[in-house]
Structure 1
Amino acid sequence: MMVTEYSDCLALRFTNIPEAEVDKTREDFELTLVLPGKQEITITVVAHRKKSGVLVVAELLLDKSTSEQCIREIAELEWHIFPASRRGKKLGPVVAYWEGWGHVVAACLPAKYGLGRRTFEKEARPDGFPYPRQVCWWPDPELWDELEDVGGLPEITERADGAAVIPFHTFSSWAAGGTGADLSVEERPAGYSAYLRRLRTALLWYVQKGRGVELEVVELLAPGLYSEKVPMQGVYVERKTPCVPYRPVGVVGPLWGVVNLFGHLGEMAPVVDCISLTVMAGNTPVEEIFVWMNPLAGDSATEEALRFIVGETKRMGLQNVIWPDTIFWFRVCRFCGDITTVVPDAN
């Protein structure tokens, strides 16, 4: 891949097709790619048609203001273009695709992550991703390369059997100390999402290398005060008293609930890190429950979290429960700086 600076844009050149093989036809496809961290990048995909009739991605045109980090994220992806009727085309793991113009443009993870290839038809489904991609849906390329160079995370501990033990912070634990405490309320959603992506990248690296790895939860007892780390099973449950300055306390009415799905990639990927249940009495929140899922447990953690949430709604006798139709990016309360949920007004 070569980066060329033109007068009005940057070009990432991927394919140098011999002149003798190229039909002079060029086709451009303008699209928007959402990168981890909720960064939207407008890309013009320039495709050349070979004399065989096949379209090949030749270069990507980006705005000159595109950051180096974004360029790296985009440049490491494999870009494909093929007729929309070819649902059986095998690709690397798809992180984004666009369908139109009679074609599909797909951006895929490279082979270095060892996640194999599947047909586009399977990759385009919103669920059913195989293990170990459930561990990390879109790895951080910079951290992955560091792990390859160093041979692991130097700051973590190892058990006697050689298994790596990586600490896990919930949002509250992360925000109360370390990096999260140094960020503003506005910066925390993206900061925690980046933390989870790096965590998942490290877990995937250990899994793919065949090395033992497990998570330990760093429990938060009070701001700045942590308990001993505890091994993370399939899920970890937090119970919180809601911060309510943003919501006027009204007449306490029947109990009802709202379930949220939170993911470090938001609605752009079928990845859920946490399922929450907000218990309401009328229009007053009285309890928040956050169920954090162990990425190493894959689908079984999601199933366990859902069973727990359903069990809580029955135990509390909630008369009505609103279930989500989307995965939210993390939300932060502007008053307390901790994670908050999305709750509609009571009807």
Structure 2
Amino acid sequence: MFFLILYFFFLLIFFFYYFVYFFDIVNNYLFFFIIITLFFFFIFNKNFFFLFFVYEVLIFPLLLWIFFSSLKSNSYNFFLLRSLFILFFFSIIFTFFFFLSFLVFYIFNSFFFLFFIFFFFFLTFIFKTPLFPFFNWLIFAHVYASTFCSIVLASFYLKLGAFLLIFFFFFVYSNMFFFFSVLTILVVFFYILFESNCKRSIALASVVHMGFSSILIFLYFKYFSFFFFLKIFFFIQFVHAFCSGFLFFYFGYFLDYFHLKSYFVIFFFFISSFFTLNFFFVFLMYYSFPIFFSFFIEIFFLKMFSFYVFFIFFLILILINFFIFIYFLKILFFYFSVFMLKNFKFNYFNFLVFIFNGFLFFYFFIFV
């Protein structure tokens, strides 16, 4: 019976969105607003297992939205297949036991069943966080999605996954999670070295923020009385949700109206003083520039460890700043090559951008 209800639920979503997209009966925003409202209705349910089930269902209307906006949907098939497996597992439990709660783990008190649960929860959160090597779906989703869909995906859906990680982390509490989080941060910074697309760079920065959040949750569960880690976690989630939404809006504006995707070209465009000032403030806050509070939060976070752990994280921070140093050095070389062109018009905005990149160059050179 539950399989039939689940099948008709997905069928209803598909046909409703088909009429929304092709016949424009109602607005797309109204459709997704209904889905979000239903999800918040289930947030106040005490059964966290059922909350996790609704969280898994929520990805389908979002990905269908991306599918209809772009035909390049093969990158999401593995992600959808993983969600279908975990939903199939929940459906079996609900069909045979008529409830969906943590009491199932006490009924099947066997090593194989507990390992099966651990594997699926670990695979779920390593996809949804996302961590290495399963973060490619987020990058392709942001590239091929519309501006509003990218904002919802970065500022809403990833944050729900991070908050659910607090409730369900005791199922996936393992040193492997810490290892995958650190490995994700290092691998993503290698990606950034060769990346100039705006939306891909913001998506990669989202992966880095989620990796730091996973490390904080791991440390919170390791030292359970240390609520300072949890406060930093909520602050990082707030900064990332605020800044990523604004950056996707700004770069979506450049993409929709000027068809620009590269950092190197966007830095030469001047729209208005207010727009440019907001863009640079959000950009610096997002990447934890030293004058902003997000940078000092990371420093305070490092100072809470012992000397050995602080030394390891300090080496990682130096390596990260070295990557950023090379990235901005590449931007400076691009500016020097443009200055040699005869048709280049030097205005005060380009001069401020050049001074800004020169200051970043000087800062990262001194820091490293």
TM-score bracket relative to the smaller structure? under 0.3
> Normalization by structure 2: what TM-score?
0.26
Decide which structure has greater strand share. 1
Report which of the two has the higher share of helix.
Answer: 2
TM-score normalised over the length of structure 1: 0.27
